[in-house]
């Protein structure tokens, strides 16, 4: 399972149904490359945001106890979600923050876009804490943002940091 998300320089993650940075064509292209023909898992807030519904060419799953929508599959808890995802299925958790944290124990890789802007955000995601036990394996500087890929330390052949 992979986490695919973005933050700004202040760990800003979301502003209601919008993002705390301007739309970025390069980031959207990369997001599509990372998620197309895969399963995307998100929380209700991400589903209700201004993204297309459903995301095309993907299996769309929403983790929520409070909604139903015939354009996606909805599971009320992590155990039910995991029971309905195939072992070999490529799963990308795309948000929101609560969903990323709930599924963090199952995440093996993180595909993170880090924008250099620092607009205030209603929702923040503490990336330092989230990335504990992950090792940076790739970073591409794109000027106003960077693409970073992390793997669980044990998956990258690196000893986890001492606690």
Number of domains in the chain: 1
55: domain range? 2-152
Per-residue pLDDT band for 157 (boundaries 50, 70, 90) equals low
Task: Decide if 161 is inside a domain.
Answer: no
Task: Decide if 93 is inside a domain.
Answer: yes
Task: Decide if 163 is inside a domain.
Answer: no
Residue 61 contacts residue 43 (beta carbons within 8 Å): no
Tell me the CATH number at 40.
Answer: 3.40.430.10
Strand partners, 74: 62
The pLDDT tens digits for 13-59 are 887 766 767 778 898 999 999 999 999 999 999 999 888 999 999 99
Task: Decide if 162 is inside a domain.
Answer: no
Task: Decide if 157 is inside a domain.
Answer: no
Task: Decide if 148 is inside a domain.
Answer: yes
| Residues above pLDDT 70, as percent of the chain | 93
Task: Decide if 160 is inside a domain.
Answer: no
């Amino acid at each position: 399972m992979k986490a695919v998300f973005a933050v700004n320089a202040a760990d800003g993650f979301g502003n209601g149904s919008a993002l705390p940075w301007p739309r970025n064509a390069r980031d959207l292209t990369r997001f599509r490359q990372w998620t197309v023909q895969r399963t995307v898992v998100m929380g209700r807030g991400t589903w209700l945001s201004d993204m297309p519904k459903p995301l095309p060419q993907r299996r769309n799953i929403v983790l929520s106890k409070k909604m139903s929508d015939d354009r996606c599959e909805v599971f009320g808890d992590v155990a039910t979600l995991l029971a309905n995802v195939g072992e070999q299925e490529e799963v990308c958790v795309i948000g929101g923050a609560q969903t990323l944290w709930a599924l963090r124990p199952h995440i093996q890789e993180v595909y993170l876009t880090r924008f250099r802007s620092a607009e205030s955000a209603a929702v923040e995601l503490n990336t330092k804490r989230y990335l504990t036990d992950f090792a940076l394996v790739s970073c591409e500087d794109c000027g106003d943002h960077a693409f970073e890929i992390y793997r669980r330390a044990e998956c990258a052949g690196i000893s986890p940091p001492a606690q």
